[in-house]
Amino acid sequence: MALQETFEKQGNWLFKRRGVLPIFVLVVGLGIYLLTLEMQGMMFSALAPYWIYYEFFCLLVSLLGVFVRVYTVGHTPANTSGRNTEKQVADSLNKTGIYSTVRHPLYLGNFLMYFGIALLTCNIAFILMFILIFWLYYERIMYAEEQFLRRKFSEEYLAWSEHVPAFFPKFKGFVKPSLPFSWKKVLKKEKNGVFFLFLIFCIFNLCGWWLCPQYIHLNWAIIVLAIFTGLSYIVLKILKTKTKVLDEEGR
C-alpha cells in the first residue's frame, strides 16, 4: 500500500479513537506528576509558595484552548466541526471566522487544552513526549480529514487551503464569520470538554495534596469550579436529552 493510502487509513483509524489522547495525558501525566513530586520534594518545597500561581497559569493555557474551541464551534453550521467519531462529516466547507486563519482550529484548541495539563507535571521529558505524540497522532488525523475534504470540495478546498495554514494561525486576511455566534450550540457541544478539564485539574490538585500536603495546598477555586461545571454538565445533559431548549435550526 502506498504511503498516501497508509497515512489516510491510519488517520481514519485514529479519528475514531481521538478521545483516547485525553485519557493518556491524564493517566500517564498524573503518574509522572506524583512521581516527580515525590522524587523532587526539595524543588517543590521551594516552589510551594508560588505553586498555586503555576496551577492557574497551566489552567489559563488550557482555557485558551477552550476559547479556541468555543469560538470555532459557536460560528459553524450543522454537520461541520463536530464530535462525530464514526466517519468524516462536512456538509459545507468552513472558510470564514477562525477558519480563515487556520485549517484545523479544533485540534489547535485540543493541543492547548492538553498542553496545559502536561505542564502541570513539571516534567520536561513528559512535556516533550506529549508534544511528539500529539504531533504524530493528529498529523495522521488531519491528513485523513484533508483527503476527505479535497475529494468532496475539490478546487474550492485547494484554493482555500493554499492560503490558510494547517495548524499555526495566520491572522492576516481574517474574514468575519458568516454565521452569528450560537451559545446554544456551544453549551450543547462543549459541555463535556469544559467539565472534564476542570475535573482533571481538580484531580491533579487533590492527588498532589494527598501525597505531599507540605508542598501542595488545596486549590479551592479549582475545586469549586470543578463542582460547578459538573453540576452544569448534568443540567445541560438533561436539557439536551429531554428537551429541545438547546436545539437551533441549522446549527
User: Rounded mean pLDDT of 9-31?
Assistant: 79
From residue 230, alpha-carbon distances to 78, 127, 157, 170, 208 in Å are 26, 28, 39, 35, 21
- Do residues 104 and 142 make contact, with C-beta atoms less than 8 angstroms apart? yes
Q: Has residue 248 been placed in a domain?
A: no
CATH code at 220?
1.20.120
pLDDT tens, position by position, 216-250: 889 999 999 999 999 999 999 999 999 888 888 87
Confidence of residue 84 (pLDDT cuts 50, 70, 90): low
pLDDT tens, position by position, 66-78: 999 999 999 988 7
Confidence of residue 85 (pLDDT cuts 50, 70, 90): low
Helix (H, G, I), strand (E, B) or coil at 236: helix
> Domain tally for the chain?
1
The label of the residue with cell 464569520 reads 177
Mean per-residue pLDDT over the chain, rounded: 87
**Residue 194 belongs to domain spanning:** 3-242
User: Rounded mean pLDDT of 154-165?
Assistant: 90
User: How far, in Å, CA of 229 to CA of 153, rounded?
Assistant: 39
User: How far, in Å, CA of 120 to CA of 112, rounded?
Assistant: 13
Q: Has residue 251 been placed in a domain?
A: no
Q: Which amino acid is at 151?
A: R
Q: Has residue 249 been placed in a domain?
A: no
Q: Which amino acid is at 175?
A: V
Q: Has residue 232 been placed in a domain?
A: yes
Q: Has residue 202 been placed in a domain?
A: yes
From residue 67, alpha-carbon distances to 59, 110, 157 in Å are 12, 10, 26
pTM of the model: 0.89
